[in-house]
Amino acid sequence: MPFKPFSMEVDLTLPDITRGDTLIIPVFSAESQSGSDQKEPPKQSSAEAVADVTAGPELPDRFLQLLGENRPLFLEELNRLGFNSGYRKSLVFSQWPLPFARVILAGLGKRSTINPARYMAAIQASLTHLGAGADRIIVDASNWPYEENSAVISIGSAISYHLYRSREYSKDLPEIQSLYIAGLKPGPGKPDPVALTEAMNQASSRAKDLVNMPPNTKRTATLAEEARSIAEQTGMELSIVEDSSWIEKNMPCFFTVARGSVDFDPPRWIHLKLANPSAKKRIALVGKSVIFDTGGIQVKPGSYMNTMKADMTGGATVLGVIDAIQKLDLTELEVHAFLAATPNLVSEASMLPDSIVDTTCGKKVEIRHTDAEGRLTLIDAVAMAERTEPDLMITVATLTGSATRAVGPHAALMSLHHEYRDQLAAAGFRAADFCQTLDVLEEDFEDISSKLDGADINNTGSESYRGAQTAAAFVMSGVSRELPLLHLDIAGGDMSKDDKATGISCRAIIQFLTDLNASLV
C-alpha cells in the first residue's frame, strides 16, 4: 500500500500532551448558527467570551480544562478570528495555547446535521494543516453523539485518506507515527474497531491503487496479477480463465464486449475464493472490470472519455474487500470474488449496434448501444457466479450516468430484496460510506424488453428517466429472482473532483459482511 502504516489506539482517557503531538478537537457550532454561512459574530471582551462559550463553538469541557490559565485568552482569540465551527472549516494553533503541541479545531457544523460521513469529511479537511505529517495525532472524540465504532472508522479512514498516494507517486510519503482517539469506549464485539478500520483502509487503498493506475500500463493481466498476489499471500483459491475460446463459448455476452481487444488485451475471467470450513453463508462479490471504456463503435465524446481508466473500479473494489476481510476472521462466511475483465475498445472486430447475442443465463440480448457495455459483461458474470450457489450476491459497478444524476457522489443501492438492501445501507451509514437506496420496479424489467423477434432484452431500455434502475434490472436478469442480489452503482463517486480514486463502497461492504457474520454466530 502506498502510504506508511500507523498504529491506532482508542481509549476514554485523554493522554498527556507531549512535544510533537497534534491535538485535533472536533467542534460543533451552536444550533442557532447557520454553519459556514454565518455572519461574523460581534466582537466580545475576554470576560464576555468566557461567559458566552455556548454562543460560539461547542468546545469540549476537558479541552477547556486543559487550557488552564490560557482559557480566557484562547476564547478571546476565537472570538476575534470569528471562528464558528462551520462544516469543514478549521483553525490551527502552533505552540499555543498548549506548549510544544499543535492544536487543530475541526469544524463539524451543527450537531443536528452530523453523521459518520460528514464527520470523516470534517476531520479530513482539518488535516490540511499537517503538512508533511506528525509524530502523534490525538483526536478528542468525546462529543461524538452516535455509535462509538463509527467515530473510530471515520477518524481512522480520514487519516488514511490524507496519507494515501498512488503507486505512481515518486516523492517522500507523508506519515504519522500513531493515532490516539480519546473519549470513546469501543464495544466488546469482534472484530474490534481498530482492526475493522485497518481492514477498511487496506481495502480502499488497494482499490485506489488499481483505479489510479494509468491506462497505458493497465491491462486485464493487471487484475489477474493482483488476484494472484492476493492468493499467494493469503492462501485463497484462485481460478483465472485466459482461454478466449472458453469465454466465447461459456460467457458469450462478456466476450462480445471483449471482441474488439482480443489480440491487444484478451479477456480474463477471475475467481477468488475465501473458504471457511464453518461457514453458514456463501457470498458472491461481482465487480465490473472494464479496463478502459472508449464507448466502442458508438464512441464517447472526448471529455466523457476522461477518467475511463476507472471503469474497472468494481473489480478493484471486490479484490480490495476480499483481501482485507481475510484478516477479520469472519468464520461464518465463505466469500467469492468474480471479475470479468476486458476493455471496451474500437476495432474492426468490435461489437455492433443492433446485434443479438447469447448470454450465460440463456437470454438473448439486443445491443442498442455499445457504450452500455458494463451490463453486458455483468449479466454473464452474475450467471456464472450463481453456479457457486451463493446465499447472497453483491455487484459493484460504475454503470450509469443516471445513478450520478440520481444520488450524486454516493453509491446508488438497488435490490429486489429490501431487507438485505436496507442492512447494507445501514452498514454504509455507520461506516461513513453512504449508500442511497433506489427501488427497482417491475416496470424497469418491462422497459428492457426487446421489440425484436430474436431477442429477449435490450441493453439500454426504452425510456431515459430510470437509467440506473433499468441497468440494475438488466444485471438482475442474469440470475434467479429468488437470489438476493444487492447492486451498487458507484458511477457518481468512484473518482474525486481532482480525478483521483475514492475507494467508494469498500467500507460499506466490509461493515455489511462484518454485521452479517456477527448475526450468524
Q: Say if residue 106 is in the same domain as residue 165.
A: yes
- Asked whether residue 288 is domain-assigned, the answer is yes
Whether the predicted pLDDT of 235 surpasses 50? yes
- Asked whether residue 110 is domain-assigned, the answer is yes
CB 491 within 8 A of CB 404: yes
Query: E-strand spans in 405-516?
Result: 411-414, 435-438, 457-458, 485-489
pLDDT of residue 55: 54
- How wide is the angle at C-alpha 281 spanned by C-alphas 202 and 333, nearest 5°? 30
Direct distance between the N- and C-terminal alpha carbons of the chain, in angstroms, rounded to an integer: 32
Identify the domain containing residue 67 by its residue range.
7-187
Residue 145 and residue 15: Cα distance in Å, rounded? 21
Residues 51-65 pLDDT 10s? 344 457 899 998 999
Q: What share of the chain is helix, strand, coil (3-state, %, to 5)?
A: 40, 20, 40
CATH number at residue 289: 3.40.630.10
Strands 435-438 and 364-366 turn out to be: unpaired
Residues 196-218 pLDDT 10s? 999 999 999 999 999 999 999 99
Q: Which residues of 193-214 are buried (b: 16+ CB within 10 A; e: fewer)?
A: bbebbbbbbbbbbbbbbbbbbe
- pLDDT (mean) for 283-287: 99
- Asked whether residue 398 is domain-assigned, the answer is yes
Q: Say if residue 295 is in the same domain as residue 412.
A: yes
Closest CA to 351 of 253, 452, 273, 425: 253
If pLDDT is split at 50, 70 and 90, which confidence band does 49 have? very low
Q: Say if residue 204 is in the same domain as residue 159.
A: no
- pLDDT (mean) for 81-101: 92
Q: Say if residue 259 is in the same domain as residue 403.
A: yes
Percent of the chain with pLDDT over 70: 95
Domain end residue (candidates: 187, 217, 242): 187
Residue 516 and residue 206: Cα distance in Å, rounded? 23
300 is catalytic: yes
Q: Determine which of 4-8, 141-145, 311-315, 483-487 has the lowest per-residue pLDDT on average.
A: 4-8
Closest CA to 377 of 442, 433, 297, 312: 312
Q: Say if residue 110 is in the same domain as residue 235.
A: no
Q: Say if residue 175 is in the same domain as residue 244.
A: no
Q: Say if residue 231 is in the same domain as residue 346.
A: yes
Q: What is the pTM of this model?
A: 0.94
Whether the predicted pLDDT of 50 surpasses 60? no
What's the total number of domains in the chain?
A: 2
Question: For residue 217, what are the CA distances in angstroms to 65, 213, 222, 268?
Answer: 55, 7, 9, 17
Domain end residue (candidates: 163, 187, 211): 187
> What secondary structure letter does DSSP report for 252?
H
Q: Say if residue 270 is in the same domain as residue 400.
A: yes
Q: Which residues of 47-72 are buried (b: 16+ CB within 10 A; e: fewer)?
A: eebbeebebbbbbbeebeebbeeebe
Determine the residue type at 296. Answer: G
pLDDT of residue 463: 78
Q: Say if residue 333 is in the same domain as residue 389.
A: yes
Q: Say if residue 503 is in the same domain as residue 447.
A: yes
CATH number at residue 117: 3.40.220.10
- pLDDT (mean) for 482-488: 98
- Asked whether residue 193 is domain-assigned, the answer is no
- Asked whether residue 1 is domain-assigned, the answer is no
Q: Could you tell me which residues come within 8 angstroms of residue 488 by beta carbon, excluding any fewer than 6 positions away?
A: 394, 395, 396, 397, 411, 412, 413, 435, 505, 508, 509
Residues 298-357 pLDDT 10s? 999 988 899 999 999 999 999 999 999 999 999 999 999 999 999 999 999 999 999 999
The active-site residue, picked from 4, 300, 327, 364, is: 300
The active-site residue, picked from 375, 430, 466, 507, is: 375
- pLDDT (mean) for 188-199: 91
Q: Say if residue 119 is in the same domain as residue 52.
A: yes
- Asked whether residue 60 is domain-assigned, the answer is yes
Report the chain's mean pLDDT, rounded to a whole number. 93
- Cell digits of residue 469: 434502475
Q: Say if residue 118 is in the same domain as residue 203.
A: no
> Residue 504: CA atoms inside 13 Å, Cβ hemisphere, count?
31
Q: Using N-to-C axis directions, what is the helix angle for 313-325 and 193-212, rounded to 10°?
A: 150
- Asked whether residue 395 is domain-assigned, the answer is yes
- Asked whether residue 516 is domain-assigned, the answer is yes
Domain end residue (candidates: 131, 165, 187): 187
Asked whether the CA dihedral 497, 498, 500, 503 is positive or negative, the reply is negative
273 is catalytic: no
